[in-house]
């Protein structure tokens, strides 16, 4: 399928404006992001080439900048646009998985487990709760990388105080699929729990998500 073979009203951008982004195929959405093609190939053909290598949303979310630049016609601007769109979707998905509004923090944790299980990079989320355990809010406090995530504990403590949290839970993912807490996870848990105690805020626990498993970080 090429752009030139489609009636003007059925081209990706025009269809998005007419029927909404949710009605577009992955190829069409990618074509909208890329905007233009290259000499000899239009944007729909380039989108199809990318999807032959990364056939669905999850596969595409794993693509690196260097890998995308390897496709003919994908310069820095187009590759960066794809990565930005993927990251926007990732953040939105994680945000929707733990919305505040009367839910208990443990229910929010269950929702976040599904979102975190798909992540390729390790990062840490904080759940803030009131005295009754109702979720006040959540925040991604570390974006981390492929090899780990760093927690800015002072920032997190300030955030807890600012929103009036009575309790804080940490949840982070292990992209390698092993839900067993590491020694670093235990050390982080002990240090953060100690800081919260000094502030009079309850530490609700630290949970590691990997695949379909969630393990609490137990310390002695």
Binned at pLDDT 50, 70 and 90, residue 75 comes out as very high
Region 89-104: mean pLDDT is: 60
Give the integer Cα–Cα distance in Å for 16 and 28: 9
Q: Name the phi and psi angles at 204, rounded to 5.
A: -85, -10
Give percent above pLDDT 90 in the chain: 35
> By three-state DSSP, how is residue 140 classified?
strand
Q: What tokens were used for 162?
A: 């600012």
Region 124-133: mean pLDDT is: 90
Binned at pLDDT 50, 70 and 90, residue 62 comes out as confident
Binned at pLDDT 50, 70 and 90, residue 145 comes out as very low
Given a cut of 90, is residue 59 above it in pLDDT? Answer: no
pTM: 0.56
Going along the chain from its start, the domains and CATH numbers come out as: 3-93 (1.10.150), 98-216 (3.40.140.10)
From residue 202, give the alpha-carbon distance in Å to each of 45, 73, 108, 154, 165. 55, 53, 17, 16, 9
Give the integer Cα–Cα distance in Å for 179 and 171: 12
Give the integer Cα–Cα distance in Å for 143 and 79: 21
Q: What tokens were used for 4?
A: 């030139």
115 contacts 97 by C-beta, under 8 angstroms: yes
Edge-to-edge strand list for the sheet holding 135-142: 135-142, 124-129, 167-173, 202-210, 213-216
Region 8-32: mean pLDDT is: 90
Burial per residue of 164-192, b for 16 or more beta-carbon CB atoms within 10 angstroms, e otherwise? ebbbbbbbbbbbeeebebeeebeebbeeb
112 contacts 122 by C-beta, under 8 angstroms: no
């Amino acid at each position: 399928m090429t752009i030139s073979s489609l009636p003007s009203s059925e081209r990706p951008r025009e269809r998005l404006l007419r029927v909404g982004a949710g009605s577009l195929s992955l190829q069409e959405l990618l074509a909208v992001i890329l905007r233009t093609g290259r000499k000899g190939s239009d944007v729909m053909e380039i989108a199809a080439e990318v999807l032959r290598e990364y056939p669905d949303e999850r596969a595409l979310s794993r693509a690196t900048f260097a890998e995308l630049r390897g496709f003919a016609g994908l310069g820095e601007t187009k590759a960066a646009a794809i990565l930005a769109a993927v990251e926007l979707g990732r953040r939105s998905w994680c945000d929707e998985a733990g919305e505040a509004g009367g839910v208990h923090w443990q229910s929010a944790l269950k929702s976040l487990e599904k979102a975190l299980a798909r992540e390729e990079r390790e990062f840490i989320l904080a759940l803030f709760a009131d005295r009754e355990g109702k979720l006040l809010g959540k925040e991604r406090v570390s974006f981390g990388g492929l090899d780990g995530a760093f927690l800015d504990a002072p920032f997190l403590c300030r955030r807890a105080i600012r929103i009036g949290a009575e309790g804080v839970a940490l949840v982070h993912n292990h992209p390698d699929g092993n839900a067993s807490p590491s020694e670093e996870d235990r050390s982080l848990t002990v240090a953060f729990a100690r800081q919260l105690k000094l502030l009079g805020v309850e530490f609700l626990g630290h949970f590691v998500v990997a695949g379909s498993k969630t393990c609490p970080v137990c310390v002695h």
